[in-house]
Each structure stands twice: as structure tokens, then as C-alpha cells.
Amino acid sequence: MESYNSFKVARQQVLEAAKLLNLDDATKEFLSTPQLETNFTLPVKMDSGKTQIFHAFRIQYNHARGPAKGGIRFHPEETVDTIRALACWMTWKTAVVDLPLGGSKGGVRCNPKILSEMELERLSREYIRAISPMLGVDIDVPATDVYTNPQTMAWMMDEYETITKRHSPGVFTDKPIQVGGTEGRRDATARGGIITVREACKAYGFDPTKEFAIQGFGDAGQRAALLHKEMLGGGKLIAASDSRGAIYNKKGLDPEELVHHKLKTGTILNFPGAKKIPHEELLELDVEILYPAALENAINIKNAKNIKARVVCELANGPTTPDADLILFKNNVHVIPDILASAGGVTVSYFEMVQDKSLFFWEEEDVHKQLDKKLTLAYKRVQEAIKEKKVHPRLAAMLVGVARVAQACQLRGWV
């Protein structure tokens, strides 16, 4: 929703956690402000021969615990405040799962759906030419995000290596396997979310074999649909949505057939046996588990009171506003916050960095095993914070992440 400024939301979450941790004023200010940010323009020659100017960003929010880590988005409504918020959340996300990394994020304001493949390649390479001095395996490591993909990362890595004249595959993650990517990365975000749902079901007695719904049927949403039944022993997908609309079938939607339909037609609409419903209706369905996997602020003060799901597993970044969090907590809706639920992606990206550095690559089974271990421990640590501080899950996750980053800043003598 346009009425919410994502960075104000992110700052509010930081300051709330900092207050409970009794952090001093200097530490509060330091942790609620990006360490480095840059805005720049990219002149790109289009297929028509004309030059188009694109506005772009890269923000390194905090690198006290290690190199900054965060994706690059291509989106027509990209703003510097969105990038600030996402870089901020990346900082706590890497800390919650205890990775030796900081947080960053980048973006280009463009509509990739109307650009040719050659235009996308030229834009990708121009972006790296503009920010190459800010990147490095020990500085800042980008990855895929909204409307970027492994091919984008391959172009960017190649451009960086051309500029630096050295082989540096670990500077970018989520790459194709043939150029230094890792097994297990494609479904890592969804798999990590499903692991946290499994742990929530163990801790609170939720039933994963009941109905579930997915808002946002992009990569993470599609893979969550496929993995839910496989990893949780059942479950019936009754609704899903993408940017073009939402569909519903009380008897259930076959995940494999729906994914095939989406890939074939470009949308979930017109799926056989399903009826179209309003976007907002999907979020308010009576399901056991709801996966918000689209964009920011989907659950807000206007609809939070109508959320009937028992578990909300946030595969998107920032899908719930602070005021909505309080309403959900009051109504006994268990939220698995984004900085925990969607941390599977950055966790396996970290594994990719490790493999690139050692030039020794793991089997997919090993990646899954290490991911499960990391996310399970992180969920349990957040649970401990919930019980210890008697706070809602997002604040508990923020307490874990902010405390770890604050300690690193203090040990370095920054604050």
C-alpha cells in the first residue's frame, strides 16, 4: 500500500528492539541509519538506437558482522526508501540465522517486462560498471531479487571480472551452477520457510495437513506450493494469486498443475476448476497457513483484523506493517517474520560464497541438511526470545538480530 513508507516501518522495528535491549542513543542512531548509500544514473543504449536513462541505487546498511549481502531488484516503482528498508531487513536476517554477513540491497527503476534480453543485459552490465568499486567478496555481495534471475547474475559477474581482470565468482550469488552457483539455491527461500512452519507446528500444535493459501505465485510462492505437501506430510492449496489476480477452489488446486499453468501462460488466471476472487479476499480466507510471498505491506491495519489463518509465514520482505503485527498477535495469529521465514535464500547464498571460495562444491543433500540445521536453530532462538521477553514473534526476531549486530558494533569500538 502506498500509504506506508517501508523504511519508516523498518526504522520503527529497529528502535522498538533497541529500546527493549537498553541500547544507548549512539547505537540506536547507528543501527537505524544506513552506513553507505549511493544513487546513480545509468545511460543504456536501447535496441532502437536511442539512449535511455535509468535511476539506480545500492545501499550497504551495516557490515559489522561481515561483508554486506543483498539482492538487486529491477522494478518500475523502485524507490530509495524501499531499498533502505530492504537493506535494513537483510542486516537482521543474516544476523538472526547467525551468518557472518551484513546487509545491503540494490535496485534499478525499470520495467523489465518491456525490455528485450539484450537491453536487460546492457542494463545489468551498466549497473556493475557504475558500482564495481563498492563490490567484492569481502565488501558487498549481490544476489537475485524481484525480476532478476541467475542469468542476470551471470552477466553481472562477467562484467565485474572483466573490469577487475580476475576470477571472482563469489562476488555474486544465485548464479547458474555452470559458473559457480550451488545446488539447492533455487528452492532455498521456500524450503527455509517450510522448515520454520514445521517447527511452528511442533511448538504450537498447528496442523500443516489442512488448507493453505499463497499470496504471490512467483518463484518462492510456486516452490512453497510444491514443497508444502512434500515436507509437511500433506496440506491442500485452496487459493493463490499473482500480479494479475487471485484464484480459489475449495476442493483444492493441484500445485504441480498450477505451476505448469503459470509457466505456460504467464499467469495463474484461467486455471481449470478455479474461480477468480479479489486479491484482498485471499488474505482473509479461513486457512491454517497463509504464505504472503508478494511485496511489502500486504497485511496492514485495514485487513489485519480479518486474517483467519493460524500461521502467517512471510516469504516476502516486509509484508506486514507494525500496527498489523499487534492486531495479529492479539488475535493469536502466529507470524513467522520475514527475517526468519525467508532467510533460506541468503543462507544458501552464503553456502554458495563458501563453495566459491574453496572451489569445492557440495551435493544438494548436504545443502538441504545445512539449511535445515541453520533455520531450525534460528527458529528455536527466536522462540526463546518470545518466551523470555513476552513479545510477538517479529519483535523477538528483531531482538535476536539487533542484539547480535549491536554487539559486533560495540566490540569494534564503533559505538
Cβ-contact 78, 108 below 8 angstroms: yes
Q: How many CA atoms lie within 13 A of 307 on its CB side?
A: 35
Closest CA to 172 of 190, 145, 191, 197: 145
d(CA 345, CA 192): 7
DSSP 142: E
- What values do phi and psi take at 48, rounded to 5? -75, -15
Q: Are strands 289-292 and 275-277 parallel, antiparallel or unpaired?
A: unpaired
What are the angstrom distances between the C-alpha of 216 and each of 221, 298, 373?
A: 6, 10, 27
Residues noted as catalytic: 105
Helix (H, G, I), strand (E, B) or coil at 241: strand
Instruction: Count Cβ atoms within 10 A of the Cβ of residue 39 and give its class: 0-12 exposed, 13-18 middle, 19 or more buried.
Output: exposed
CA angle 302, 306, 309 (to 5 degrees): 130
Amino acid making up residue 410: Q
Q: Which three cell numbers stand for residue 69?
A: 549481502
